[in-house]
Amino acid sequence: MNIKKKLKKEKSVKKNTIWFSVIIMIIMTYVVFALYYSGYFKGGEIFFSFLYIVVVDGLLILNILRIISNDKFEFYLSNDNEKIKIKDGLLSSPFSINLDWIYYIDAAPKANADDIEVLIVSKKGKRNKRFLPFDDNLVKAKPYYKNTYKYIMENKPCKDLYYYIVRKSGAKKYYYLYLIYKNAYDANFSDRALDYIKDFSEEYNL
């Protein structure tokens, strides 16, 4: 596994996708206006041509905003090194997780993507709407966490647990796993998560 190569590739893909989307928007808009002023469109064709441009440009803009929002994902230690702070979108406000609250960490490959997601199971999180109750609904939605769910339910330290899944930021998630591993001293880690942490540590000589 080459994490540095993945990071470089992701950065290049994001940049190229944004530029490609902008160029397509400019070309399509120019072509439609040029055809309109040349009298090519007649009657209802005018309305549908401009509607088409609005819809396509709107979808391209949404895709650009999605890429920018994904790139603005932040995951870092608080100044006192007691919390993980997360900002999971362009317009969202940061929220925090006490490192002492983290009970279990798992990571799994995303379907049809050269990427992973990180599952954070916390002993507290009821007041944070981004945390969901840790129950069998997770396994129904994501069957690959079945063994994790079984292990946690057999060894759960308290009545209620909550979870949050880190989906954004691509290969940076390997660093996030390492960051949790080095600072959440009481957390348990799945074998999958430990393998990813080992890959990161070896590549960066940590």
Q: What is the pTM of this model?
A: 0.86
Phi first, then psi: give them for residue 2, nearest 5 degrees: -120, 95
Q: What pLDDT was estimated at residue 71? A: 84
pLDDT in tens, the chain (206 residues): 689 999 999 999 999 999 999 999 999 999 999 988 888 888 888 888 899 999 999 999 999 998 988 888 899 999 888 999 999 877 788 899 999 999 999 999 987 678 899 999 999 876 678 899 999 999 999 999 999 999 999 998 888 899 999 999 999 999 999 999 999 999 999 999 999 999 999 999 98
Confidence (pLDDT) at 173: 95
Give the separation between CA 141 and CA 136, rounded to whole angstroms: 9
Distances (CA, A) of 187 to 65, 74, 91, 100, 147: 35, 21, 30, 8, 17
HEC string of the chain equals CCHHHHHHHHHHHHHHHHHHHHHHHHHHHHHHHHHHHCCCCCCHHHHHHHHHHHHHHHHHHHHHHHHHHHHCCEEEECCCCCEEEEECCCCCCCEEEEHHHEEEEEEEECCCCCCEEEEEEECCCCCCCCCEECCHHHHHHCHHHHHHHHHHHHHCCCCCCEEEEECCCHHHHHHHHHHHHHHCCCCEECHHHHHHHHHHHHHCCC
Cβ atoms 53, 32 nearer than 8 A: yes
Q: What pLDDT is stored for residue 110 in this prediction?
A: 86
Distance CA 162, CA 160 (A): 7
Q: What is the pLDDT of residue 175?
A: 96
Nearest residue to 178 (alpha-carbon basis) of 170, 167, 189 = 189
**Apex CA 155: angle with CA 154 and CA 160, to 5°?**
95
Which amino acid does the sequence have at 36? Answer: Y
Residue 201 and residue 189 in contact, taking contact as beta carbons nearer than 8 Å:
no
pLDDT tens string 43-79:
888 888 899 999 999 999 999 998 988 888 899 999 8
